[in-house]
Amino acid sequence: MKKEIPIFFACDDNYIPLLGTALHTLIKHASKDYNYTVIVLNAGLKQINKRRVKTLEKKNKNLKVKFVNISDLINKHYSELALRLRDYYSVAIYYRMFIPTLFKEYDKAIYLDADLILLDDISELYNTDIEGKLVAAINDKLVSTVPVFANYANNAVGIDANEYFNSGVLVMNLKKFREDDIETKFLNLLEKYNFDTICPDQDYLNVLCKDDKVLLPTGWNKMPLYDPEFDYTTLKLVHYNSFEKPWHHDHVLYADKFWEAAEGSPFFEDLKKIRENVGEAHLQKEEKGVKALVEKATYLATSEEVTFKKVLAL
């Protein structure tokens, strides 16, 4: 029997074209030696979108896509989860926190954001030796290389910027998450303090996994940032996690790789329409969002607000 690799995503209807593209690239590089179970966490998706994503199963008999609506669980904590969200976030960013207890049949899993493309087989990432730690993840270069965000990580979150990981690509030790009762610890922090943050789920995960993580090579979560020291022969996954997305802008680093990877996907035309319909209002909102993010990071790093570092003495 082939080994099963569980891969989790969180998605709403707006992100279906991105999810479909990510899965298209996963299939393109999938090994015949594994069964890939993709579990899409959601709070309700249109049937037509679920059917469109399910058509990808026809491209690879080793792929199975499941949709799991977790809105009942999320609604129990909705007010706390939503309190600190910025206008371009939804509570879906927190779904990954509940994977270990919702899916006790798995001891290990991959979590991926939908705004990425794979350039290699995800089984290689899954088979990473996580050394008994809670997670294996990749340093967030947007944080560690941009001074204002590095200062935020160091002085508000209490995590060295070079140790701070991005939560969009994770190898999760679900068994240890359950043993250490990470979900309860997360909810306790959320309900007691509900810290003001710039990356809510990511900051909580970095704090909870502070001394219990393995940092992996950048090639498994390469962001569209220029990096003269990066060995491009190790590029395995591109994560378009910043404001500038190739489906919104033409000048984004690795935009060519995105469109090449997306070609042939059932969602290719959707992506083209998204790009064609980006207007001035979207660009102004984006510019405003970037400015607000920088201002908040600066403020939290230097203020007397309740932060992870101050409260938890990190």
Question: Where does the pLDDT of residue 90 fall: very low under 50, low under 70, confident under 90, or very high at 90 and above?
Answer: low
Q: What is the pLDDT of residue 200?
A: 87
307 Cβ contact list (under 8 Å, min separation 6): 156, 157, 158, 195, 196, 300
In the predicted structure, residue 74 carries a pLDDT above the cut 80: no
The conformational region for residue 254 under phi > 0 = left, psi -120 to 50 = alpha, else beta, is left
In the predicted structure, residue 86 carries a pLDDT above the cut 60: no
3-state secondary structure 221-236: CECCCCCCCCCHHHCC
Q: What is the pLDDT of residue 266?
A: 94
Question: Where does the pLDDT of residue 309 fall: very low under 50, low under 70, confident under 90, or very high at 90 and above?
Answer: very high
Q: What is the pLDDT of residues 38-66, one digit of tens each?
A: 999 999 999 999 999 999 999 999 999 99
Q: What is the pLDDT of residue 93?
A: 78
CATH superfamily of 3-312: Spore Coat Polysaccharide Biosynthesis Protein SpsA; Chain A (3.90.550.10)
Higher-pLDDT residue of 18 and 78 is: 18
Q: What is the pLDDT of residues 142-160, one digit of tens each?
A: 999 999 999 999 999 999 9
In the predicted structure, residue 298 carries a pLDDT above the cut 90: yes
**134 contacts 180 by C-beta, under 8 angstroms:** yes
Domain boundaries, the chain: 3-312
Coil, helix or strand for 130? coil
In the predicted structure, residue 177 carries a pLDDT above the cut 90: yes
| Cα 29 to Cα 42: distance, rounded to the nearest angstrom | 25
What rounded mean pLDDT belongs to the chain? 93
Q: What is the pLDDT of residues 22-43, one digit of tens each?
A: 999 999 999 999 999 999 999 9
Question: Where does the pLDDT of residue 76 fall: very low under 50, low under 70, confident under 90, or very high at 90 and above?
Answer: confident
In this structure, of 88-92, 117-121, 130-134, 210-214, the range with the lowest mean pLDDT score is 88-92
Q: What is the pLDDT of residue 82?
A: 56
Q: What is the pLDDT of residues 259-291, one digit of tens each?
A: 999 999 999 999 999 999 999 998 898 899 899
Q: What is the pLDDT of residue 243?
A: 83
88 vs 156, 168, 206, 263, 288, CA distance in Å? 21, 16, 21, 27, 11
What average pLDDT does range 163-182 have in this prediction? 98
Question: Where does the pLDDT of residue 303 fall: very low under 50, low under 70, confident under 90, or very high at 90 and above?
Answer: confident
What average pLDDT does range 209-225 have in this prediction? 97
What pTM did the predictor assign?
0.95
